[in-house]
Structure 1
């Protein structure tokens, strides 16, 4: 079996691998690029494993005229940029000590040693420059079955890095067979060791959760997280039950997946808990509040646009376990396209200060109630209340 495609057959990646091979070193593309190539999924990163030490990789890259950046040299990683494409080159490694967040590694000389320190069997597939697959731990059957399993002992893999608990659910959402369910042994280990997530930085937890919630259908994984006690560890008070309803409504309406919309369905997010960006926290928090507090649809669409109104309708439908009505869906689109025809200057100097704001609000309410049909002149002629 071979992997093919421009990502591996292109002259830049071939040149980087030849740089290592011609100097007498082993070189294999590994991990996500191989997995995704075999699944027919997009390839976003090119990772290369080698027996060359990082200092040697830097030396060879310099001689070849490539830019080399010691992005993780303490852990054996050098990023070599060729043709504008980054290639993350990491020396074969084996863990000698871990604390659940980071590992002390020793260099190894074979892909067998390197494979056994990786997380999941489907991520421990290697390919040489000609695309030939090397499968040192027999991960291909799991990949073909879309079965996500930890390598060797799940507990050992998790205690090396507790973030692998979230990665277990994330990778299942993206690559697992939903009909198979999650691997029972792996799920039990995640539940048993979930307290270890408290050692992981908020940034890493938030990043993994956003990737999970971006999957086409993360609902089964999130439900399993809730049952295992993992969801409550990272999002206290979160409720996984509305999520499958939201995802169904998204599919019915042809709306693309959105991690923040889905997060706002699970909970009113605490920005600090996940270290969201200010913009992300503001949007997710607003959606959660508007959906739960019953914000009126017309002002929502007028003030915040059609996309925000759509998201609130979808979240509200999930929380209430009721489909979005066609009428509300159309009204939100119509309302968002309207422009209120009265400006503050139209009411001055007869109205100033708080009275001006109150009059504008009253006229806008009347305009909305008319189905946006009242003209500027008609609104200005309305009697004072």
Structure 2
């Protein structure tokens, strides 16, 4: 069986102290989920989650006796956060579902790793590593992980009805970990299509978080296509479509989830996805600039190269036109331009509001000229106006 014993996160001193905590008490525990999946796929590991048959109260007592801070972050669901060496470890008792309503589950504690595995969402998330670094694969997730196949555990409809957010997680996981060339799992797609009504009961914050993560993946085009085909996209973003999205992603200069969201179109996503104020403002700028307005070179000077590059690609996608071959270089050049007139150059003739208005007039003329007007030419504009 494969081992992760040589992986840096497993060898880390802080991880070994937590392992020693369980071993010294002759207790079993298993690293589970994302840290195993990401390790085996060569993706950075960010969180270390642990499952154990120990009950949460016993975990808290063990952690405190080892000198660690133990926080009952979700003790009613069996989760304790143990702080060791400044690092958090979420330690959760094995569980099995007793009842679910599509948003939250009533769970019972279990002594079985297999029962714990069966309540998870995808097979690639049901991989465990014991305290010696040996990978345990109770549900055949290793084969799916090697094939980069995102597959629900058991019957997709059953897993989805336990938590309807799993519909969006399926598409997000495919965009992040799946094999785009192999396509999306047919059974999973059918399960998603059959349970669209469940999406309406989810909180907008949870939906928004999943969509932003999906749109942050390297290429979410296949997932967006699957969402369109099953009706999921329309269910969460009425009026959205992939018509401009696919060409935009194919020619974008860098990943910006708000620009990708603008390319999807549809109704105002701000309230639908509970976007932050910063996200909403950025999305509005993209949508406002997609079909008209200032040149991308003016935008580059005022808003920065990143936004201008996104808008150039958005406009090309919307109007179904190719990008200019040198647009990137021109935008980068425009973003580095320096307005040649300073406030001091206009004083004392201009002060207060008049000074601000004069600078605004000159900058508008300078931008309209494509940065060509010199300081002398700009000053002549004011002289002409004053005579």
The farther-off stretch of 325-334 and 108-117 is 325-334
Secondary structure (helix, strand or coil) at the match of 1:295 reads coil
Distance 2:70 2:322 in 1: 53
CA RMSD of aligned residues (A): 2.2
Distance 2:65 2:162 in 1: 36
Distance 2:236 2:329 in 1: 37
Equivalence for 1:289:
288
Equivalence for 2:235:
233
Equivalence for 2:95:
93
Distance 2:308 2:128 in 1: 46
Unaligned runs of at least 5 residues, structure 1 = none
Question: Contact conserved, 2:129 with 2:136, CA < 8 A, in 1?
Answer: yes
Distance 1:240 1:73 in 2: 43
CA drift of 1:49 comes to 0.5
Question: Contact conserved, 2:343 with 2:355, CA < 8 A, in 1?
Answer: no
Q: 1:16 aligned to 14, 18, 22, which one? A: 18
CA drift of 1:347 comes to 7.8
Q: Which runs of 4+ in 1 moved over 4 A?
A: 347-356, 359-362
C-alpha distance 21-376 of structure 1, shift in aligned 2 (>3 A): same
Secondary structure (helix, strand or coil) at the match of 1:140 reads helix
C-alpha distance 351-89 of structure 1, shift in aligned 2 (>3 A): closer
1:258 aligns with 2:259: no
Scaled by the length of structure 2, the TM-score of the pair is: 0.92
CA deviations over 1:89-133 (Å, ceiling 9, x no partner): 110000001011100000010110000000001110111122211
CA drift of 1:356 comes to 7.2
C-alpha distance 53-360 of structure 1, shift in aligned 2 (>3 A): same
Distance 1:276 1:70 in 2: 30
Secondary structure (helix, strand or coil) at the match of 1:381 reads helix
The farther-off stretch of 22-31 and 89-98 is 22-31
* Count of paired positions: 380
Equivalence for 1:141:
143
Secondary structure (helix, strand or coil) at the match of 1:384 reads helix
Unaligned runs of at least 5 residues, structure 2 = none
Distance 2:236 2:192 in 1: 13
Alignment of 1:3-82 (within 5 A): 3=4, 4-82=6-84
Question: Contact conserved, 1:28 with 1:127, CA < 8 A, in 2?
Answer: yes
Question: Contact conserved, 1:12 with 1:82, CA < 8 A, in 2?
Answer: yes
The farther-off stretch of 290-299 and 345-354 is 345-354
Question: Contact conserved, 2:28 with 2:131, CA < 8 A, in 1?
Answer: no
